[in-house]
Amino acid sequence: MGQEDDKKKWRGFGIILRQLAKQEHYNITEFVMDTKELKTGISCQLFNESGEDYDNPVTLLQRAGFKHLDLALVADNQDYTQLHQTIHTPRR
C-alpha cells in the first residue's frame, strides 16, 4: 500500500485539521484523535512532509489551550524524536 492509499484512510482527519487550522480563535479545549479502523494509529510520518498535510496539524498543535489532547500516532524512537522537535520548534 502506497503513501497516497494511506492518506485516503485519514482524509477526514485532514479535512478537520484544515478547518481548525484556519480558525485564529476557537474555543476547543479537547482534541481526541481516535483511529478505530487503524490498529496502530496514524503514522507520525505525516509531519515529515511539507504542505497542507504538515502545516495544518503543526499549526493546531502549536496553539496553547488544550485541556485534553489525545493523539493516536504510531512512531518508533527516531520518529518520536523528530516529531517532538517539529512540534516544539518555533515557526518562522
| 65 lies in some domain | yes
In the block, residue with C-alpha cell 485516503? 8
- At 11, the pLDDT band (50, 70, 90 cuts) reads confident
Q: Concatenate the DSSP letters of all residues of 39-76 into one string.
A: TT-EEGGGGGS-SHHHHHHHHHHHS---SEEE--EE--
The verdict on residue 73 lying in a domain is yes
Strand pairing report for 42-43 and 73-74: parallel
Cell of residue 11, nine digits: 482524509
The CA-to-CA distance between both ends of the chain, in Å, stands at 35
Residue 92 inside a domain? The answer is: no
Number of structural domains in the chain: 1
Q: pLDDT tens digit string along 68-88?
A: 888 887 776 666 677 677 777
Q: What does the alpha-carbon distance between residue 56 and residue 14 come to, in Å, rounded to a whole number?
A: 8
Structural domain including 77 reads: 3-22+29-87
Residue 7 within a domain: yes
Give residue-wise pLDDT tens across range 38-64.
667 777 776 667 788 788 888 887 876
Its pTM stands at 0.59
Please tell me the least confidently modeled range out of 10-14, 27-31, 84-88: 84-88
